[in-house]
Structure 1
């Protein structure tokens, strides 16, 4: 067992350890890299998720998912949408979600790789903490 750790994948007598290395190997073997991953996995999941979020945004009319101020639901959508920004065509057909993310980034600067408490004013942190 390489590195004395699990998981281990054995192929043709060779052992491959570390979950990310195994995942990359399997993705390569089964054609799930970039284009196939986006087409077969990301796009269907994102479209379903964005359809629900679009309905919330349209029904609420405040620019937020719930209520009239920032909540953890907004942070969740912003973080998820920001992660998917590596594949911008995922937003095609979802102008409300695209607008939400642009607006969120404009009003609530995202630090690092996703929204964080460091980027939020103290008033909003207190509000979010009460809602959790």
Structure 2
């Protein structure tokens, strides 16, 4: 009985620790068509900042453009060296900087990238 409880506790700890390395998937389905200039990458956000949008002043939810460094850890689609790129996204608040994200990125033409919105979500529409 005691060994069964130890095994269950060990399994819970191992499962809990492995869940810490999970990825928040905000990218398209694997194999979904994307523009040839777009990227699908996994990484973390750092050094975030924000600015208000040029929208209706009656926006009660407080939308805004957010800027961050995105530290690329894995490249799924696209041609870019691993490293850090500047990204911008549209939303209500900062995204977490303590988890890995899977993002669909599109070049802005100004040297940084838009984070494309997931389906049925607010943000920059890359479709």
TM-score bracket for this pair, using the shorter chain length: under 0.3
Output the TM-score relative to the length of structure 2: 0.25
Structure number with the higher helix fraction is 1
Output the TM-score relative to the length of structure 1: 0.25
Larger relative contact order, structure 1 or 2 (CA cutoff 8 Å, min sep 6): 2
Instruction: Select the structure of larger CA radius of gyration.
Output: 1
